[in-house]
A and B are shown apart, each in its own frame.
Chain A
Amino acid sequence: MRKVFVIILLILVGYFLTNTFSLITFGENRIGNTSEEKNVAAYYLNNTKEKTSVANVVTAIVVNYRGFDTLGEVTVLFLATTGLGSILFRRKEDEDQIERISKPSSSLVQTGSRILFPLIALLGIYVFIHGHLTPGGGFQGGAIIATGFLLMLISYKNFKAGHTMLIWVESLAGITFVTIGLWGLLTSGSFLENTLPGGELNNLISGGIIPIIYIAVGFKVAAELTGVLDILLNIKPKK
């Protein structure tokens, strides 16, 4: 009876999926005519280079045109971290009872992770510094750095991600983001206005405030995710 039900459900889902996707003809140009002025996608594609001098159009949309939305996303991540920390955080007096979940790893893994950690951190920093030139950006680079910290946390049992340092990095990054936004509000009348000179297209220092914001976002995401991992890996042993 249950199997028949599952099969009927699968057939229904498949029917509606094919019905929906058959409406979209394969290989159709869904952006529309890019020379039209009213087309939003065409506006971004045609004007990003001249107005912001950023090679990566996606980054220009995420950080510049939709910069306020990105600030909201960062806030959501911050709130998630805060909630997790407030549930799972251990007080200082319990600190000697805290134990890492993971078992001690072999010396091979320890040595290897000591070699790999700087390389992973370098890759993450590269990804968020070049966010306005190549695919990737603050969120991706921050996540890469957090994986490096995860490697260290599971291979060294007494490796501690310093919480005061994490808090400082995160707060400074957030303050930088908001300060840049407020500066735009003061000087040219709208929040997160790109007031700095754009510079030359495809250069590392170009795009005005976009690389600065992405570097701040990268540090913020890295600090938050590292804090989450550190909290999740620490448990109190049963007495």
Chain B
Amino acid sequence: MEILKYIGYGLLIIGGIFLFLGALGIYRMPDLYNRLQAGTKASTIGAMSVILGVGFIQPDWLIKTLIIVVFIAVANPLSSHAIGRAAYKAGLKPIMKTKMDAYEKTQNIQETKEVKL
């Protein structure tokens, strides 16, 4: 059982590093889409590994922590997707050096499809 504990401590350290990098990304990135990217990816893996690490250190809680990890894996990317889409629909243009907007094309295709239906 000692090994499980050390795995747990390792996961805690990894999660802490990812959470710190996510916070740094939110501070450093230029616009909403980049910030969302940094915040979501880093905080998803960070929170997941911190919670799983707690589960390994305290094996009684392992099943509960696994359920929480699954919940975060579903809910976190979904919410960031919704925020990004809402920002795009509200008319926020991404700041980019190379002008490319792949979402606009898919948007047009979707709209034509909806008209056909």
Contact = CB atoms under 8 A, between A and B. Distances in A.
Contacts of A108: 78, 81
A103 B89 contact: yes
Contacts of A235: none
Prevailing SS type, chain B contact patch? helix
A61 B86 CA distance: 44
Contacts, number: 21
Range, interface on chain B: under 10
Most chain-A CB neighbours within 10 Å: which of B81, B82, B85? B82
A119 B75 CA distance: 11
Nearest to B70: A119
Nearest to B67: A119
Nearest to B81: A108
B71 A109 contact: no
Contacts of A24: none
A112 B82 CA distance: 11
Prevailing SS type, chain A contact patch? helix
B63 interface: no
B74 interface: yes
Contact of A112 (B74, B85, B89): B74
A112 B71 contact: no
Contacts of B75: 112, 116
B85 A106 contact: yes
A17 B74 CA distance: 44
Interface in A103-135: 103, 105-106, 108-109, 112-113, 115-116, 119
Given A103-B89, A106-B85, A119 B71 contact: yes
Contacts of A105: 82, 85
A33 to B, nearest CB: 36
17 contacts: A103-B89, A105-B82, A106-B81, A106-B82, A106-B85, A108-B78, A108-B81, A109-B78, A109-B81, A112-B74, A112-B75, A112-B78, A113-B78, A115-B74, A116-B74, A116-B78, A119-B71
Given A106-B82, A108-B81, A109-B78, 13 more contacts: A105-B85, A106-B81, A106-B85, A108-B78, A109-B82, A112-B74, A112-B75, A112-B78, A113-B78, A116-B71, A116-B75, A116-B78, A119-B71
